[in-house]
């Protein structure tokens, strides 16, 4: 089999690789009770629960890494959404201040003057 793999037989290469590295088996983690992530702030509690589950042997370290990557993605998505909302709110406040200051030429209003 190794000879065929060395000759370029793709199926033989796959079989040899799987034999050497072992096939990856995933399992459902339905019994793992994690708190929901509804905001970026919830990420810390979920990360702590994952670390506790890995430390107690309830999940493997590899499963913990995969879960932490998912948590990281969720936290980044919530953070991006929060940042977008903050920028939108600031832009709206700026538009409300500019007409009151009499500056409509695109320059910053008195509320945002350099000190």
Q: Can you give the residue ranges of every domain in the chain? A: 1-30, 38-102
Nearest-angstrom CA–CA distance, 35 and 24: 27
| CA–CA separation, 67 and 44 (whole Å) | 13
Per-residue confidence (pLDDT) for residue 19, from 0 to 100: 82
Query: pLDDT value at position 114?
Result: 52
Q: What is the pTM for the complete model shown?
A: 0.59
Write out pLDDT tens, residues 64-110.
Answer: 999 999 999 999 999 999 999 999 999 999 988 877 665 555 555 55
Tokens of 68: 């932490």
- Does residue 111 have a pLDDT over 60? no
Nearest to 44 by CA among 65, 72, 11: 72
- Computed over every residue of the chain, the mean pLDDT equals 84
């Amino acid at each position: 089999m190794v000879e065929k793999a060395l000759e370029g037989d793709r199926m033989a290469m796959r079989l040899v690789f799987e034999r050497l590295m072992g096939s990856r088996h995933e399992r459902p983690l339905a019994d793992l009770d994690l708190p929901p992530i509804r905001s970026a702030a919830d990420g810390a509690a979920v990360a702590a629960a994952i670390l506790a589950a890995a430390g107690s042997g309830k999940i493997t370290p590899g499963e913990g890494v995969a879960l932490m990557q998912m948590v990281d993605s969720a936290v980044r998505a919530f953070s991006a959404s929060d940042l977008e909302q903050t920028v939108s709110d600031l832009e709206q406040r700026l538009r409300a201040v500019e007409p009151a200051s009499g500056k409509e030429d695109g320059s910053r209003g008195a509320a945002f003057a350099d000190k």
